[in-house]
A and B are shown apart, each in its own frame.
Chain A
Amino acid sequence: MKVGANIKDFLFEKTTALFALCVLGLTLLLFALLIRESLPAIRKFGVTFVTNSTWDPVLEEFAALPFLYGTLVSSFLAILIAVPLGVGSAIFINEFAPGWLKTPISFLAELLAAIPSVIYGLWGIFVLVPILRDNFMKPVSRALGWIPLFQGPVYGPSMLAAGVLLAIMVVPFILSVSREVLATVPQVQKEAVLSLGGTHWEMIRIVIGQHCIPGIFGATILGLGRALGETMAVTMVIGNRPDIVLSLFQPGYSMAAVIANEFTEATGDLYLSALVEIGLVLFLLTIVVNLAAKWILTRMVPGRAGR
């Protein structure tokens, strides 16, 4: 718009544009500050920061592999549990649930998404971890302890506990995106399968096979993006031990958790810088994952572009 006839309109547009510029500026500032504060650690450790596994504040040796490992394993574990449940319940709500049941179920799922993560952590420490430890990890470890994944000793706080808790937290997102994806299937296509004598399940299998796999994949990636950055709940149940151990029953550590636990204790400049660099790595990781999810979903679910 040129200055044109109405100066007030011009000023109003430019004012709103200025605020938009501020939001853009804040995003860039966030990025710039993360890089600036990580520089000492980046200079000192280079690539070894993500390939080595020593985290020793006393000797000022910092490397993030155990945290990266813990973040990835706990998140993948969460996705592994959450995707079947989320997609399954999306199918249930969209295809089978009677009308009067749809709204309450999705309302409850939304409520699940609204619970603050510190409350999940609290519940995780005092309820979920003891249940998992006594009813699942101990018996499984006794019976199958020779498999590295299930090796004891069992403490309770563990990679598995973090994965399960994360699964509960990301399931509402996977559920709601899956419902959107399922809703894009044209009714005619469903009726076509049914009219050929297919059962309800066959209809779902065929239709999902043809239409929804990429969208559900997008939902999965979106859930992964959520899980990667989750802090409080993971910090409270993962056990916070910076080792790479194959067993899911052993404590681990995550990137977000180490920042949460050690930031206020970080005495040296390099220590702080290393923690910020972990933040930077986490930041880049979630950006890549979220962009991938968005890219897939905008292609799958028309009209979803804005979100």
Chain B
Amino acid sequence: MTSIAFRRKATDRIMKALFLLSAFLVILPLFLIFFDLLWKGAKELKWSLLTDLPRPVGEPGGGIANGILGTLTVTGLAMAGGIPLAVLTGIYLAEYGKGAFASVVRFAVDLLAGVPSIILGIFGYVLWVLPMKRFSAWAGASALAMIFIPIVVRTTEEMLKTVPVSVREGALALGIERWKTTLFITVRTAAAGIITGILLAMARILGETAPLLFTALGNQFWQTGLDQPIATIPLQVFSYAISPYDDWHGKAWAGAVVLILMVLVLSTVARLLTRTRK
């Protein structure tokens, strides 16, 4: 073997090794994070975590029950507003959106999708907290809805566009009105994909903290109304994490475990839905 051929061969080997190494380094943090979550969260992972209110420092026990309820409340509110808005917008873009107006809407959705979530917190604050002079679940939910909407608009549009024209034609040729064709045939055909998009967007807003810091604010107690401050798991994880107490650090890890489980369950369900579609 000549030395040039040898060098080429060697370079090839080295580069392959480097690519393998980079893939390894990309995945490594995932394992480290999961390991630490279980390791450091284990101590606090008790039943009371899910059923009890937070307790002051030093008192044993206590949980994040209010945060779990609050997370579900705020996420649910955001979705209740976001789903109709986003899905109908997606339908408009996919089924009717050919002109200039549709391009402007698409552009706006693109912009919105790239806006840092903390800025949507400012949105919720200015829209609700300033006029009401009070932090509230409404403010938090509006901020989350602004994250939720662009994701779902895009997936809805994309999924509807994967439905073949022949399906629409088949329905129209039966004398089914166009709006019924869209709602009951086209959307139905793409339903699994759209629901997957909704679940993934839900998983995303479930874990958001930044937009809730000065909208939902957090709460040590059970929520008393949607116009009042409300606790969420990410907010609790954050405030426990930056506290100076070891006791609370453990709670932060345990809360993180609960949060990641919720996210994982949602992503898995979403994944399974699209898999059975084939």
- Any A–B CB pair closer than 8 Å: yes
List the interface of chain A (C-beta within 8 A of B).
Answer: 1, 6, 8-9, 11-13, 15-17, 19-24, 26-30, 33-34, 36-37, 84-89, 91-93, 95-97, 105, 108-112, 114-123, 125-127, 168, 171-172, 175, 199-202, 204, 225, 228-232, 236, 256, 259-260, 263-264, 275-276, 279, 282-283, 286-287, 290, 294, 306-307
What residues of chain A lie closer than 8 Å to B263, measured between beta carbons? 114-116
Complex Cα–Cα for A125 and B239 (A): 13
Across the interface, do B118 and A23 meet the contact criterion of CB distance under 8 Å?
no
Q: Does chain A have a CB within 8 A of B80?
A: no
Across the interface, do A23 and B85 meet the contact criterion of CB distance under 8 Å?
yes
Across the interface, do B104 and A97 meet the contact criterion of CB distance under 8 Å?
no
Complex Cα–Cα for A127 and B249 (A): 12
* Least CB distance, B247 to chain A, in whole angstroms: 14
What residues of chain B lie closer than 8 Å to A97, measured between beta carbons? 23
Across the interface, do B114 and A20 meet the contact criterion of CB distance under 8 Å?
no
Across the interface, do B32 and A287 meet the contact criterion of CB distance under 8 Å?
no
Most buried by B among A110, A171, A283: A283
Please tell me which one of the listed residues A6, A8, A37, A93 contacts residue B23 in the complex, with CB atoms under 8 A apart. A93
Please tell me which one of the listed residues A12, A115, A204, A294 contacts residue B260 in the complex, with CB atoms under 8 A apart. A115
Across the interface, do B179 and A260 meet the contact criterion of CB distance under 8 Å?
no
Interface residues on B, range: 35 or more
Tell me whether A201 and B15 are in contact in the complex, defined as CB-CB below 8 angstroms, given that A17-B92, A20-B89, A84-B22 are known contacts. yes
Please tell me which one of the listed residues A13, A92, A275, A283 contacts residue B115 in the complex, with CB atoms under 8 A apart. A283
Q: A30-B120, A88-B21, A88-B23 are in contact. List 10 more A-B contacts (CB 8 A).
A: A23-B86, A88-B18, A89-B25, A92-B22, A120-B33, A122-B241, A122-B253, A122-B256, A282-B118, A306-B154
Complex Cα–Cα for A29 and B249 (A): 39
Q: A174: nearest residue on chain B (CB-CB)?
A: B26
Q: B218: nearest residue on chain A (CB-CB)?
A: A264
Complex Cα–Cα for A290 and B29 (A): 26
Complex Cα–Cα for A6 and B153 (A): 27
Q: A25: nearest residue on chain B (CB-CB)?
A: B108
Q: Which of B45-53, B54-62, B188-196, B206-214 contacts A (4 or more CB under 8 A)?
A: B206-214
What residues of chain A lie closer than 8 Å to B123, measured between beta carbons? 29-30, 33-34
Interface SS of A by simple majority: helix
Across the interface, do B146 and A30 meet the contact criterion of CB distance under 8 Å?
yes
Interface SS of B by simple majority: helix
Tell me whether A6 and B178 are in contact in the complex, defined as CB-CB below 8 angstroms, given that A20-B102, A232-B238 are known contacts. yes
What residues of chain B lie closer than 8 Å to A30, measured between beta carbons? 112, 115, 119-120, 123, 146
* Least CB distance, A263 to chain B, in whole angstroms: 4
Complex Cα–Cα for A45 and B237 (A): 37
What residues of chain A lie closer than 8 Å to B157, measured between beta carbons? 306
Q: Does chain A have a CB within 8 A of B42?
A: no
* Least CB distance, B267 to chain A, in whole angstroms: 5
Q: B33: nearest residue on chain A (CB-CB)?
A: A123
Please tell me which one of the listed residues A21, A260, A264, A287 contacts residue B217 in the complex, with CB atoms under 8 A apart. A264
Please tell me which one of the listed residues B40, B116, B234 contacts residue A126 in the complex, with CB atoms under 8 A apart. B40
* Least CB distance, A23 to chain B, in whole angstroms: 5
Across the interface, do A119 and B37 meet the contact criterion of CB distance under 8 Å?
yes
Q: A22: nearest residue on chain B (CB-CB)?
A: B85
Please tell me which one of the listed residues A110, A112, A121 contacts residue B29 in the complex, with CB atoms under 8 A apart. A112
Across the interface, do A306 and B241 meet the contact criterion of CB distance under 8 Å?
no
Q: Can you list the 7 inter-chain pairs with the closest CB atoms, starting with the nearest?
A: A229-B116, A116-B207, A88-B22, A12-B179, A16-B92, A89-B23, A290-B114
Q: B249: nearest residue on chain A (CB-CB)?
A: A126
What residues of chain A lie closer than 8 Å to B110, measured between beta carbons? 290, 294
What residues of chain B lie closer than 8 Å to A22, measured between beta carbons? 85, 89
* Least CB distance, B3 to chain A, in whole angstroms: 15
Give 7 A-B contacts (CB < 8 Å), ordered by A residue: A22-B89, A30-B119, A30-B120, A88-B22, A96-B20, A231-B210, A276-B122
Q: Does chain A have a CB within 8 A of B259?
A: yes
* Least CB distance, A307 to chain B, in whole angstroms: 7
What residues of chain A lie closer than 8 Å to B242, measured between beta carbons? 125, 236
Most buried by B among A96, A97, A115, A168: A115
Q: B206: nearest residue on chain A (CB-CB)?
A: A116
Tell me whether A109 and B26 are in contact in the complex, defined as CB-CB below 8 angstroms, given that A19-B92, A114-B263, A201-B15 are known contacts. yes
Q: Does chain A have a CB within 8 A of B227?
A: no
What residues of chain A lie closer than 8 Å to B174, measured between beta carbons? none
Q: A94: nearest residue on chain B (CB-CB)?
A: B19
Interface residues of B in 75-129 (CB under 8 A from A): 84-86, 88-89, 91-93, 95-97, 101-102, 104-106, 108-112, 114-123, 125-127
Across the interface, do B252 and A122 meet the contact criterion of CB distance under 8 Å?
yes
Tell me whether A33 and B33 are in contact in the complex, defined as CB-CB below 8 angstroms, given that A201-B11, A306-B158 are known contacts. no
